[in-house]
Amino acid sequence: MLPPTTLLSTLPAGLRDPLIQEYNSIVQNFMEHRWSPAELSGGKFCEIVYTILDGYTTGTFAATPTKPRDFVGACRALESNASAPRSFQILIPRLLPALYEIRNNRGSGHAGGDVDPNPMDASAVLSMASWVMAELIRVVHQTSVAEAQLAVDSLVERRIPLVWSGADVRRVLRPDIKLKDQVILLIGATYTANVGQLIQWTEYGNSSRFRKVLREMHSLRLLEYNQATGDVMLLPPGADYLTDLIRRLELAP
């Protein structure tokens, strides 16, 4: 699988890099239950995506993101470009104003409500942003939906305070944590790794036992463990387990 930066290589670095950065910020803030920052990042994300769609429509990309004075009107104007793929002409331009509305008018002030909608709003931001990212990759690189989603998943490099990253090594800074949780933390910080890397990073002495633990986690659908290649990838239940683990270890604010 090509890295997302390659899949989006036709975009100027001034748009591609902020796009990836803001998406990562949304995911990180959501994982840490920092609802309001996740929503604010959603607003910045919208402005970057709008600039990309506008450049795709005109044939000339801006060097950096721009913020239209009338965001809803600017998105509506994109619908007149009949030559663009339908997702670029209709779907994303109609989705962005909803994302932007959450950022502008569903912030921390929810007076009179019985339930704080921030977690619900942040979930919507994450779901919509993930779909938009996958669609951008699918159209720009002309890849399949499945490949685009894998690329989006691999974008995420979570900042986990307990995981230290060096040039070619990662360490869980609390060796007292059980092996299963160390593996989840390491994979959570990288999304994907090889079994050889994980054995090196944990400094686990029994490789046969280590692989048995991976098989058990695979059977629980926490990880996708390819025994033929040794590749290990975090699955959605594993991501949920990671979020709960971070909360239990009181790593999240």
Give me the chain's average pLDDT, please. 83
- Range in 55-64, 69-78, 138-147, 192-201 the model is least confident about: 138-147
Asked, for residue 253, whether it belongs to a domain, the answer is: no
* 191/138 same-domain check: no
- Range in 101-110, 192-201, 214-223 the model is least confident about: 101-110
Amino acid at 253: P
* 180/129 same-domain check: no
Q: How many domains does the chain have?
A: 2
Cβ pair 100, 71 in contact under 8 A: yes
Asked, for residue 238, whether it belongs to a domain, the answer is: yes
- The pLDDT tens digits for 46-72 are 999 999 999 998 889 999 998 899 999
Asked, for residue 181, whether it belongs to a domain, the answer is: yes
* 42/95 same-domain check: yes
Q: Which of residues 155, 172, 194 is at a domain's end?
A: 155
Look-up of token digits 């670029």: 88
Amino acid at 86: R
* 172/54 same-domain check: no
Residue 230, CA distances (Å) to 17, 152, 224 in order: 30, 22, 10
* 41/112 same-domain check: yes
Asked, for residue 117, whether it belongs to a domain, the answer is: yes
Residue 182 confidence (pLDDT) above 90: yes
What's 230's domain CATH number? 1.10.10.10
Stretch 204-214: mean pLDDT, rounded? 95
pLDDT confidence of residue 108:
43
Residue 167 confidence (pLDDT) above 60: yes
* 179/143 same-domain check: no
* 39/139 same-domain check: yes
* CA distance linking residue 14 with residue 134, whole number of Å: 19
Q: Which of residues 155, 182, 198 is at a domain's end?
A: 155
* 49/74 same-domain check: yes
* 143/24 same-domain check: yes
* 87/192 same-domain check: no
% of the chain residues with pLDDT over 70: 80
- Containing structural domain, residue 81: 4-155
* 128/181 same-domain check: no
Stretch 207-228: mean pLDDT, rounded? 95
Report residue 161's pLDDT band, with 50, 70 and 90 as the boundaries: confident
Q: Which of residues 139, 155, 171 is at a domain's end?
A: 155
- The pLDDT tens digits for 34-51 are 777 666 677 889 999 999
Tokens of residue 49, six digits:
């995506």
* 102/131 same-domain check: yes
Residue 251 confidence (pLDDT) above 60: no
Asked, for residue 8, whether it belongs to a domain, the answer is: yes
Stretch 155-180: mean pLDDT, rounded? 81
Asked, for residue 167, whether it belongs to a domain, the answer is: yes
H-helix segments, the chain: 4-7, 13-31, 35-58, 71-77, 86, 92-105, 118-141, 145-155, 179-190, 195-202, 207-219, 236-248
- The pLDDT tens digits for 72-119 are 999 999 999 888 999 999 999 999 999 888 876 665 444 445 556 577
Residue 157 confidence (pLDDT) above 80: no
